[in-house]
Amino acid sequence: MNIIRYIIQKEFRQIFRNKAMLPIIFIMPMIQLIILSNAATFEVKNIKFGYIDNDKTSFSRELVEKFNASTYFNVLSDYPTAKKAKSAMLNGEVDVVLEIPQHFSRDLIKEKKSDLSVTINAIDGAAAGVENVYVNQIVQQFNSKIRVGLMLLGTPEVQPQLIETIPLFWYNETLNYKTFMVPGILVLLVTMITLFLSGMNVVREKEIGTLEQINVTPIKKHQFIIGKLFPFLILGLVLLTVGLIIAKLIFDIPMVGSILLMYGYTIIYILVILGIGLFISNYTDTQQQAMFIAWFFMVIFILMSGLFTPIESMPEWAQILTEFNPIKYFVQVMRMVMLKGAGISDIYPQVLKTLLYAVAMNGLAVMSYKKFS
Amino acid sequence: MNKENAITVKDLTKTFGAFTAVNNISFEVGKGEVFGFLGANGAGKTTAMKMLIGILKPTSGIATVANFDVISHAEDVKKSIGYMSQRFSLYNDLTIKENITFFGGIYGLKKADIKVKTKELIEELGLHDEANKLVGALPLGWKQKVAFSVSLLHNPQIIFLDEPTGGVDPITRRQFWEMIYREAHRGKTIFVTTHYMDEAEYCDRVSIMVEGKIEALDTPKNLKTLYKVDTMNQVFLKLARNIE
């Protein structure tokens, strides 16, 4: 036990002595948290909207006015021809083009129906889908208004059928994307810092030659690994604390659940990450190699974490792979505990899987550390 | 096995793929002896030493250090030996005192003992003013002296030194060898590799390794007589040249 204490003491001394590393460890992630949480949003806003009005009646102008009134659309221009609109879309000047046909109002009054053509730039498929929904909503609103108008004109066969859905948004009532993103980004930052620091730690001692000196001492492998893990665990928890304070003070993220549970889970989680880091460190010879491998895992973990894209929409094989993604569990737990107030029984599966993962990775880290080769 | 031997090596071999780094070497080092382990670069000295200190597994052969088998009892070997490598192996970003505390600590020394040892060591080396300076800021010769002293913290019976004086000025080298002799007089066994043939003259016995094999092993005096030359340098050149 005493031996472990000496390793921990030495690691802390080295961390705090390195004046270049401290800001990297603490200040950079906080800047990232503040910037990313504000920037990384899935909201589709300020859609560049253009139209071709072949009708030029009060009806068509009223429809365009509806788009103008919407906060989602920036009504940019009125294109004289479809060809002009097409080239504008090609140049990226416009994302959604609405073409109002000739005789739009005449057909509406006489035939009780008319077609509108909508062209959407679908390079970003997800955004295009959302844009389509917004366009439809506005057209529907316009439609029901027209119907009422036509009814008043004395056409009783047109019955307004108003079936409206009134959504209730639970756990994030105002649909604030920051509420959704901040816990997730905090998870990424804690993960990145602890993975990179632990991944480069042992290999750094290999590079400078001190590891050989340690290997010649009668130190036990688990003592060495625990001594190496502990300082980074504390660092990760400090980082989480600073991040949570920022989340509360700057972003006003609700913290419904138990803080204690959050920390308890984070400890297990960081152990997983540190185990992975030390495992990488044991198998590489230079810090550069370790960094590349750490990045390899980091990118996969981030993109398959469900933070940016829902796991439910991934192909089945990818969903199976995400079972091995610790970030997935951490994101789930943070969101569940922070936003829903989930208790230990709710996050039981995540806790169990993370715990198993921690045991496996640290077992591997101890095993792969070879004093004797 | 001779109880009086600090190190016994029998048919020790290490191969890396098709390359044989250490080829069937056998020798014994007596207790309290200063044993010089010489050889050209790439002759296999460091590989042989790594097997003796329990960080590299031999391909075949037997070696016992402090009466412990280096394969089956590597961790017991480590308790009985001190090691200082050619690659400077203290932490540059820790002070002298902090390095002593750390290495004392991982050898399992008690807190009070570390305190006493730190005081002794700093006094012996005359480093009062530097004790709280970062090791990285010290001149190389001083670093090596500190590293040597640190390798003695746990009072090992046998000390392995891998080119301890590489790149060090002649005065410091001299002082370094005085330190080595002091430890030998205290009954410690010294196993040292070096490229400096004048240092070889200081050893009780030397072995000369050429291409993985021990080509000569005796006292410097006997070796000089055997090869009919005046200095160890000439002995070394003669052996190395024979191979070419």
Question: Which whole number is the average pLDDT over B183-196?
Answer: 92
The answer to whether B190 and B6 are in contact (CB under 8 A) is: no
One-letter amino acid for residue A201 of the chain: N
Percentage of chain B exceeding pLDDT 70: 98
Task: Look at B98 and A7 and tell me if their CB atoms are within 8 Å.
Answer: no
Q: Any chain B CB within 8 A of the CB of A209?
A: yes
> CA neighbours within 13 Å on the CB side: how many for B110?
3
pLDDT of residue B1: 43
Residues of chain A neighbouring B149 (CB-CB closer than 8 A): none
Residue with tokens 């070696």: B63
- Whether chain A has a CB inside 8 Å of the CB on B81: the answer is yes
Tokens coding A288? 């550069």
Is residue B94 within 8 A of residue A13, CB to CB? The reply is: yes
Nearest CA in chain B to A373: B56
Closest CB to A7 among B55, B57, B106? B106
Chain B's closest residue to A206, CA to CA, is: B89
Beta bridge partners of A167: none
Alpha-carbon gap, residue A9 to A4, rounded angstroms: 9
Q: In terms of CA atoms, which chain A residue is nearest residue B148?
A: A213
- Cα angle at A181 between A179 and A184, to 5 degrees? 115
CB contact under 8 A, A10 and B88: no
Chain-chain contact of A212 with B107 (C-beta, under 8 angstroms): no
CATH superfamily of A47-152: abc type-2 transporter like domain (3.40.1710.10)
Q: Do the chains contact at A373 and B56, CB–CB below 8 Å?
A: yes
CB-based contacts of A222, cutoff 8 Å, min separation 6: A366
Taking alpha carbons only, the member of A311, A359, A315 closest to residue A332 is A311
Q: pTM of the prediction?
A: 0.80
ipTM comes to 0.89
Q: Residues B43-62: what's their mean pLDDT?
A: 93
CB contact under 8 A, B54 and A3: no
- In angstroms, the CA B156 to CA A117 distance is 89
pLDDT in tens, A155-172: 555 454 555 566 666 666
Which residue in chain B has the smallest CA separation from A9? Answer: B102
Question: In the A/B pair of chains, how many CB contacts fall below 8 A?
Answer: 77
pLDDT at A361: 94
Distance from CA of B154 to the nearest CA of A (A): 10
Which chain A residues are within 8 Å of B87, Cβ to Cβ? 208-209, 212
Contact call for residues A229 and A273 (beta carbons, < 8 A): no
Given an 8 Å threshold on Cβ–Cβ distance, is A217 in contact with B85?
Answer: no
User: What's the rounded mean pLDDT across residues B90-96?
Assistant: 94
| Residue B69 sits at the chain A interface (C-beta within 8 Å) | no
Looking at residue A98, its pLDDT comes to 87
Residues of chain A with pLDDT under 70: 1, 40-42, 149-176
Is B78 part of the contact surface with chain A (CB cutoff 8 Å)? yes
Closest Cα in chain B, distance from residue A194 (Å): 21
User: Is A371–B87 a contact, with Cβ atoms under 8 angstroms apart?
Assistant: no
B57 in contact with A, Cβ within 8 Å = yes
Cross-chain CB nearest to B78 (options A3, A6, A218): A218
In sequence order, what DSSP letters do the residues of A186-208 get, joined into one string?
Answer: HHHHHHHHHHHHHHHHHHHHHHH
B31-56+72-243 under CATH 3.40.50.300, yes or no:
yes
Residues 6+ apart with CB under 8 A from B150: B84, B90, B99, B100, B103, B121
CB contact under 8 A, A209 and B85: yes
What does the alpha-carbon distance between residue A304 and residue A331 come to, in Å, rounded to a whole number?
A: 11
- B110 Cα to chain A: minimum distance (Å): 9
Cα–Cα distance measured from residue A293 to residue A195, given in angstroms and rounded to the nearest whole number: 11
Closest CA to A350 of A363, A338, A334, A339: A334
Identify the pLDDT of residue A1.
64
CB-based contact B55 A371, cutoff 8 Å: yes
- Residues in B touching A372 (Cβ below 8 Å): 54-57, 74
Q: Per-domain residue ranges for chain B?
A: 31-56+72-243
In chain A, domain spans:
2-40+174-368, 47-152
Report d(CA B105, CA A5) in Å as an integer. 8
pLDDT digits (tens, 9 = 90+) for B19-36: 999 999 999 999 999 999
Q: Within an 8 Å CB–CB cutoff, is residue B92 touching chain A?
A: yes
Instruction: State whether B108 and A216 contact (CB < 8 Å).
Output: no
- Candidates A10, A214, A222: best to mutate against B (most CBs of B within 10 A) is A10
| Local structure of B9: helix, strand or coil | strand
Could you please report the per-residue DSSP string of A164-175?
A: -------SSTT-
